[in-house]
Amino acid sequence: MLNAKMKSEIKVKSSSPFLTRPLAAISLAAMLIIAGCGNNNASNASSTVNPANAPAEASAVPAADKLDIKVSFYPMYEFTKSITGDLADVEVLIPAGTEPHDWEPTAKDMAEISDADVLVYNGAGMEGWAQQVVDGASGSKLITVEASKGLEIMEGAEEEEEEHAHEEGAAAGEADHEHEHEQEEGNHAGEGHDHGGLDPHVWLDPAMAIQEVRTIAAALSAASPENAAIFKANSEAYIAKLQQLDQDFKDGLKDTKRKDFITQHAAFGYLAQEYGLTQVPIAGLSPEQEPSAAQMAGIVEFAKANNVKTIFFETLVSSSVADTIAQEIGAKTAVLNPIEGLTDEDVKNNLDYLSIMRQNLDALVAALNE
């Protein structure tokens, strides 16, 4: 079909002196224009569905026609950008190298969110500030997308998992419970980093990441119906990669020598549940939470009793606690990345969600087969 600009061009030509030419010549010119239109449209559609393989000049979309999308932190960015391709300006709110639990939007950030077309956030308590935005969006043009909506969200797992570690190690449960209670009260008192008793780290389970991508794609298709077919094609292409990642995790972790792993931050509950593992966290859901002396002693005893040789720490926060435990038991440390944000080195090395998850898989396979 001809667009308005092409129709206008043909109309101008029809009223020009060239009307004295034979009708066949005019028809041929129109056919050539239509053919050119069809070729250009096919090229643009193809480059949008697979923007990585498209020449820059072919993928240009007028800025006025693009969705303005804000996303909370890195995984939401990759999921969203993989769906939209060049049809949206997608901006991550939390800068690279910043721990999302520490971040709060400024007045300028809030104004930019309000002016956007879409806000994509994980939800389940990950972004403590998001509900304020959602409440304020009523009656405005802003569409808010909670990517984890509809997923089965686990209760905060730190109490159960810490008790598991302490049952295996030092008998300090009562002191730990009191410490956790005090920590919980401190969080509710206004720290801004409390997850509301929920574990929001669903993106670390590839099977749940697939569902988040589908939720985002459905919302964006509703926001921009004219691009729904492209969003669907893009999302299915990315989901195929996530499905392969899921299969690789299943294959890599099904026959490991051990099934439990010690991590600094209780971020891997969904991943552990999906692949038949047991997460033993040093601290709780918030990476800033400092373990008590009793918790540290319990983890050390658990590690010794179970011959743990690797203590996992993560990017964006200090590894001092993991280092202390590793030194105590003669173990080494390794990174298990919750992908709550990219480091400057990650950006420099062109790492993304898929590649970092594969690094996580390699790290788990190595540690669980020691």
pLDDT at 11 over 80: no
Q: What is the mean pLDDT of the chain?
A: 79
Question: For 218-235, how does the pLDDT look when each residue is reduced to its tens digit (9 = 90+)?
Answer: 999 999 999 999 999 999
pLDDT more than 90, % of the chain: 60
What are the CA-CA distances from residue 58 to residues 44, 62, 82, 233, 235 (Å)? Answer: 6, 12, 18, 18, 21
Query: What pTM does this model have?
Result: 0.75
> Going from the N-terminus, what domains does the chain have, and what CATH number goes with each?
65-153+202-240 (3.40.50.1980), 158-196+241-368 (3.40.50.1980)
Ordered DSSP codes for 181-240: HHHHHHIIIIIS---TTB---GGGSHHHHHHHHHHHHHHHHHH-GGGHHHHHHHHHHHHH
Amino acid occupying residue 109: D
Q: For 62-91, b where at least 16 C-beta lie within 10 A, e where not — what string?
A: eeeebbebbbbbbbbbbbbbbbbbbbbbbe
Tell me, what's the pLDDT at 191? Answer: 39
Amino acid occupying residue 366: A
Mean pLDDT of 62-69: 83
Instruction: Report the SS3 class of residue 350.
Output: coil
Mean pLDDT of 117-127: 96
The partner residues of 104 in beta bridges, in order of sequence, read: none
Tell me, what's the pLDDT at 148? Answer: 98
Question: For 303-343, how does the pLDDT look when each residue is reduced to its tens digit (9 = 90+)?
Answer: 999 999 999 999 888 899 999 999 999 999 999 999 999 98
Q: Which phi and psi angles does 193 have, rounded to 5°? A: -115, 10
Question: For 353-366, how does the pLDDT look when each residue is reduced to its tens digit (9 = 90+)?
Answer: 999 999 999 999 99
Question: For 234-289, how does the pLDDT look when each residue is reduced to its tens digit (9 = 90+)?
Answer: 999 999 999 999 999 999 999 999 999 999 989 999 999 999 999 999 987 766 67
pLDDT at 32 over 60: no
Could you give the CA distance from residue 286 to residue 322 in angstroms, rounded to a whole number? 15
